[in-house]
A and B are shown apart, each in its own frame.
Chain A
Amino acid sequence: MEAFFEWFKWLYDDTGINLPFMYDSYDRGRMINGFFMTIKLSVLCLIFSIIIGMIGAWLQASPLKWTRRFVGGYIQLFRNTPPLVQLYFFYFAIGTMLPKVASDYGGEQPMLGGFAWAVISLSFFAGAFNVEIFRSGIEAVPNSTIEAAKALGFSRLQIYKDITLPLAFRVVLPALANNLVNLVKTTTLAYAIAVPEMLYEANQIWSDNVNVTEMMIFMLLAYFLLVGVLVWAMNRWERSLKIPGYGA
Chain B
Amino acid sequence: MKKLLKGSIAAVVFGALAMTSMAVQADVIDDIKKRGVLKVGVKADYKPYGFRDPSGKIVGIEPELAQDVAKKLGVKVEFIPVVSSNRMQFLQQGKVDLMIATMTDKPARRKVVSIVDPNYYSSGTNILAPKKFGFKKWEDLRGKPVCGIQGAFYNKKTGKEFGAKIVAFKGTAEVYAALKAGNCVAFVYDDSSHVAKTKSKEWADYEMPLPTIDDAPWGLAVKLGETKFHEMMSGMIKDWHKSGRILALETKWGVENTPFAKAMNAKYK
B156 touches A113 (CB 8 A): no
Q: Any chain A CB within 8 A of the CB of B19?
A: yes
Which residues of B are found within 8 Å of A36, using beta-carbon distances?
none
A204 touches B182 (CB 8 A): no
Q: Any chain A CB within 8 A of the CB of B193?
A: no
Contact with A along B164-193 (1 / 0, CB 8 A): 001111100010011011110100000000
Q: Any chain A CB within 8 A of the CB of B130?
A: yes
Q: For B160, give the chain A residue with the smallest CB separation.
A: A26
B183 touches A114 (CB 8 A): yes
Q: Any chain B CB within 8 A of the CB of A59?
A: no
Q: Any chain B CB within 8 A of the CB of A89?
A: no
Q: Any chain B CB within 8 A of the CB of A67?
A: no
A107 touches B133 (CB 8 A): yes
Q: For A213, give the chain B residue with the smallest CB separation.
A: B19
B153 touches A207 (CB 8 A): yes
Which residues of A are found within 8 Å of B183, using beta-carbon distances?
95, 109-110, 113-114, 194
State A156–B158 Cα separation when bound (angstroms).
Answer: 58
Nearest-CB distance from A92 to chain B (Å)? 5
Nearest-CB distance from A17 to chain B (Å)? 12
Q: Any chain B CB within 8 A of the CB of A209?
A: yes
Assuming the contacts A108-B182, A204-B168, A207-B150, asked whether A224 and B133 have C-beta atoms less than 8 A apart, the reply is no
Which residues of A are found within 8 Å of B15, using beta-carbon distances?
217, 220
State A213–B19 Cα separation when bound (angstroms).
Answer: 7
Q: For A27, give the chain B residue with the smallest CB separation.
A: B156
Which residues of B are found within 8 Å of A114, using beta-carbon distances?
167, 183
Q: Any chain A CB within 8 A of the CB of B72?
A: no
Which residues of B are found within 8 Å of A194, using beta-carbon distances?
147, 167-169, 178, 183
State A224–B7 Cα separation when bound (angstroms).
Answer: 12
Name 22 A/B residue pairs within 8 A (Cβ), A-sorted: A26-B156, A92-B174, A95-B183, A96-B177, A96-B180, A106-B132, A108-B182, A109-B145, A110-B181, A110-B182, A192-B169, A194-B147, A194-B183, A203-B150, A207-B151, A210-B88, A210-B108, A216-B19, A217-B15, A220-B12, A220-B15, A224-B11
State A26–B161 Cα separation when bound (angstroms).
Answer: 11
- Residue in B109, B178, B180 whose Cβ sees the most chain A Cβ within 10 Å: B178
Nearest-CB distance from B145 to chain A (Å)? 8
State A110–B144 Cα separation when bound (angstroms).
Answer: 14
Residues of A within 8 A of B (CB): 26, 92, 95-96, 100, 103, 105-110, 113-114, 191-194, 200, 203-204, 206-210, 212-213, 216-217, 220-221, 224, 228
Nearest-CB distance from B188 to chain A (Å)? 13
Q: Any chain A CB within 8 A of the CB of B198?
A: no
State A176–B199 Cα separation when bound (angstroms).
Answer: 54
- Residue in A95, A207, A212, A217 whose Cβ sees the most chain B Cβ within 10 Å: A207
B133 touches A106 (CB 8 A): yes
Which residues of A are found within 8 Å of B145, using beta-carbon distances?
109
Given contacts A105-B144, A192-B174, 18 further A-B contacts (CB under 8 A): A92-B174, A96-B180, A103-B185, A106-B133, A107-B185, A110-B181, A114-B183, A194-B147, A194-B169, A194-B178, A200-B150, A204-B151, A207-B151, A216-B19, A217-B15, A221-B12, A224-B12, A228-B4
